[in-house]
Structure 1
């Protein structure tokens, strides 16, 4: 049994997940790491929207799981990946919730990228 607090999204902390509806392209050092038409936009409280990309649309050969873990009382336990391109490593640039809580179950099998740890996250075009 976990002693971690578990919270439900609500009026004081809303979370919505919608289809982005546009292409999402993620690059690192000029290399495409993710390219999808199936991203989800997760909007949480007052934070900027986060693009969750299907893991199937990510070049997994560039990812290496790290030992870093974090916890969100609304989404669950997160694991991280580092990205290596041409010998350069970007540590913990990607996160995922392998078993997200029911309120955000749509993000299962999706990953998100820290904008300041990748070259670009482009939406559209």
Structure 2
């Protein structure tokens, strides 16, 4: 197995993780997949912010782990889940960093959903 390149956030590629003060609800149609007031918002470089939902606030009966994985040199290895009610459209629609690098360790025990696969609502309190 080849060594993986590891990079660190900095001025050229900033990454911040902060508690989202609002409620975040993830749905597929009318079906709630996740509902939390404890989401973490990860802002990476110029990409749109991603909401990381605590695993305890996700309905895992609607998800199925897959064999798919990816690697981010800033965050580590990602594992994936499919959203079962979405069928083919929901394959690998959810990801998680189970052993994230130190710079983003707060996202451990959280999952994120692809915004083009589900509805992600941020509801201001």
1:64 equivalent in structure 2 = 64
Aligned to 1:117: 117
* Counterpart in the other structure of 1:82: 82
How far apart, in 2, do the equivalents of 1:30 and 1:67 lie?
28
SS across alignment from 1:51: strand
> Deviation string for 1:70-118 (max 9, x for gaps)?
0000000000000112x73511110000000000000000000001111
Counterparts of 1:15 and 1:76, CA distance in 2: 13
State the alpha-carbon separation in 2 of the partners of residues 12 and 71 from structure 1.
Answer: 19
TM-score, length-normalised on structure 1?
Answer: 0.94
Separation (CA, whole Å) in 1 of partners of 2:123 and 2:109: 22
Give SS of 2:38's match: coil
Instruction: Compute the TM-score of the two structures, normalised by the length of structure 2.
Output: 0.94
Report 1:10-29 matches (<5 A): 10-29=10-29
Residue 2 of structure 1 and its aligned partner are, at CA, apart by 5.5
Measured in 2, the distance between the counterparts of 1:122 and 1:28 equals 11
Determine the structure 2 residue equivalent to 1:97.
97
Q: How many angstroms apart in 2 are the aligned matches of 1:2 and 1:37?
A: 40
Hey, what's the Cα distance between the residues in 1 that align with 2:58 and 2:116? 18
How many aligned residue pairs are there? 123
Uncovered stretches (5+) of structure 1, i.e. residues with no partner: none
Listed as ranges, the gaps of 5+ residues in structure 2 are none
